Amino acid sequence: MESASLVEMQWKVCPAKIYPQKALFGWVLIIVLGLMISTTSILLGICLTGILIATQATFLFHSTFTITNEGLVAKYPFRKKQYKWEQVRRVAFMKDVCYMFSRKKPSNLDGWTGIAVLYGDNRDIVIEKIKSYLNKDVTV
């Protein structure tokens, strides 16, 4: 039986709360498009509105990030991604987010396989914590 990994740090981020004007614009656009489509077919309008909301769920709703001694877990509204620290080969630190990739070189698959880690209010702490767990051969 494996021992449970200790949670070093856990935080929640909702980009819609950080950027309320963009969130309002997004919701208005989704509702207007949904209503326009609903004028031809109610069922199609409801379905496509749901799809529009699902495509923007990472921005509109909370995401939870957990750093443990084994790796990083990102729980987005409709999916969960996790990397062990040994799997991380490349990290790109940016203003509001860092991207973790399992490939050393950039690839077209990065958008599908990478993990976007939103900092929220803890930018410096999160960057420091991630850097402390990265292997020496990781490209930063």
CA atoms of 64 and 99, how far apart (whole Å): 15
Torsion region of 96: left, alpha or beta (phi above 0 gives left; psi -120 to 50 gives alpha): alpha
- What pTM does this model have? 0.82
pLDDT exceeds cutoff 60 at 128? yes
pLDDT at 118 over 60: yes
pLDDT average, residue stretch 2-26: 85
- Share the mean pLDDT of the chain: 88
Q: Is the pLDDT of residue 3 over 60?
A: no
| pLDDT value for 1 | 40
The pLDDT assigned to 109 comes to 80
36-84 pLDDT per residue, tens: 998 988 999 899 999 999 999 999 999 999 999 899 999 999 899 999 9
State the residue for tokens 């939103």.
Answer: 118
Crossing angle of helices 20-38 and 42-55, rounded to 10°: 160
Secondary structure of 25-89 in HEC code, one letter for each residue: HHHHHHHHHHHHHHCCCHHHHHHHHHHHHHHCHHHHCCEEEEEECCEEEEECCCCEEEEECCCCC
